[in-house]
Copies of this chain bind each other. A is one copy, B any other.
Amino acid sequence: MSGKHILILGGDGYLGWPTAMYFSNRGYEVTVVDNYFRRNACAELDVGMLYPVPTLVERAKIWHGLTGKEIKVVIGDLTDPEVMRGLFEGRVAYAWAVDKSFTGKPDTVMHYAEQPSAPYSLINYRYANITVQNNLLVTNNLMWALRDFSRDTHVVHIGTMGEYGTPNIDIPEGWIEIEHNGRKDRFLFPRQASSLYHTTKIMDTDLMWFAVRMWDLRVTDLMQGPVYGIETEESKMADGGGQKAEDRGQRTEVGGQKTEDGNAGGQEPSAMNQELSANSQQLRARSHELRTIFNYDEIFGTIVNRFIVQAIVGYPLTVYGKGGQTRGYLNINDTLQCVHMAEKTPAEKGELRIFNQIMETFSANDLAEKVKRVGKALGYDVKIDHIENPRKEAEEHYYNPTYQGLIDIGVEPHYLTDDVLKGVFKVVEKYRYNIRQDVIFRGIRWT
């Protein structure tokens, strides 16, 4: 055990849950917090996920059954400052934990607790309002909780490359020196995003930069591109379960040790162990359910994931307009590497450290062609459809971002090879009968 404590805000999401397993698997003490925003939004908007996902409490139990490791679960809305502050002060009720005593102040906070969809933010004024309110209040509450209780804690925040937009000059990693009328100063690179969601991330940057300067906090802000992929090392442990079976003894021991502290919530230690033991076989049988939430709809699905699903069900790939929109992309496994490397080499006190978290750039046309090629090799008849662009964005533009900082601190990039795409195809194929064609595209308009 590293003994380090990681608090993951937004631990139920596409990146949040894989991050929780990743750090738990490496010996960190992990606490996840979520209010099920994503799931509730998927239900409300009737956009199906590729497969049902157990609750966070169930996932934490399955994970514990598989590995003997504990991921503490808090269900709460972080726009409420009291919920946020409780995580630092110890006023926290775990929805599930082997040891329900307070873990203590986190060494690192992974801040994923944001409404993450551009189309969602533009459905109408209500969703716009939810996006602004959720994203900014959570960030503000986090900054104040750190100010008041834990100024040394390192925050790793997921920003977005979309904050920069598509300027006509090269994009540095967050900062730029400007010379004007013979004088110089260093500034945040001027940002202008093309959706309201992306704009809230700019506003996060403003807010965090204020807090960092004022209170000497430590923040790493990762300007991430769209992520693709489904499996991670931990989600695949289910298949290689035999290898991990030796953990079971340790698990019971860990559970026993911890509950000897006399703090197992409402249950006696022996009752808790009994439950874990009786259920362990069932829990291990469910370990394929540790896979992350996977959306393939226009609102919550990311482009590569969406295209693969569309290829499998014979839905022409939806390229918006000319398809020259160029962005940086990365594999979900590289997101995990990036936040890990950022965690291992924290920002200094008073530093807002910014990395561009992408591994390569592609146009929408490039991605469509790749998915088409791999799909054909797998026997699918993949068509590409250039539909009217529901967004207001440049379809042909200059794009030259720098992305070296994360590699400099040890990240080893995975690239979007045909084999990687095939791997995603293979997992999605298992759930092909779940795919609802009616939720793939509804044409939420930017204007």
Contact = CB atoms under 8 A, between A and B. Distances in A.
A354 interface: no
Contact of A187 (B190, B213, B447): B190
Interface stretch (A32-40, A128-136, A325-333, A337-345): A128-136
A164 to B, nearest CB: 10
A86 to B, nearest CB: 13
Interface stretch (A98-106, A198-206, A377-385): A198-206
Contact of A168 (B136, B147, B183, B210): B183
Interface in A71-120: 81, 85
A124 B215 CA distance: 13
A137 interface: yes
Contact of A180 (B85, B169, B185, B213): B169
A148 B214 CA distance: 38
Contacts of A274: none
A447 B215 contact: yes
A203 to B, nearest CB: 4
Given A183-B168, A185-B167, A188-B192, A137 B141 contact: no
B214 A203 contact: no
A176 interface: yes
A113 to B, nearest CB: 15
A206 B210 contact: no
A214 B184 contact: no
A403 interface: no
8 contacts: A125-B141, A132-B137, A168-B183, A168-B185, A169-B184, A199-B207, A199-B210, A213-B392
Contacts of A180: 169-170, 172, 176
A178 interface: yes
A193 interface: yes
B181 A206 contact: no
A128 B207 CA distance: 11
A20 B106 CA distance: 51
Interface string A390-416: 001000001000000000000000000
Interface in A192-234: 192-196, 199, 202-203, 206-207, 209-210, 213-215
A315 interface: no
Given A132-B140, A203-B206, A207-B199, A181 B170 contact: yes
A430 interface: no
A179 B179 CA distance: 9
B181 A167 contact: no
Contact of A206 (B137, B206, B447): B206
Interface in A335-385: none
A189 interface: yes
A190 B190 CA distance: 5
A447 to B, nearest CB: 6
A51 interface: no
A337 to B, nearest CB: 29
Contacts of A203: 136, 203, 206-207
A199 B206 contact: yes
Given A128-B140, A129-B141, A178-B176, A398 B183 contact: yes
Contacts of A132: 136-137, 140, 207
Contacts of A178: 169, 176, 178, 190
Contact of A125 (B144, B172, B213): B144
- Residue from the set A85, A128, A193 with the largest chain B CB neighbour count within 10 Å: A128
A169 B190 contact: no
A421 to B, nearest CB: 33
B209 A183 contact: no
Given A137-B129, A178-B178, A184-B169, A206 B202 contact: yes
A350 B176 CA distance: 27
Nearest to A185: B168
Nearest to A392: B214
A-B pairs, top 6 by smallest CB distance, nearest first, are A187-B190, A125-B144, A168-B185, A203-B203, A169-B180, A199-B210
A167 B185 CA distance: 7
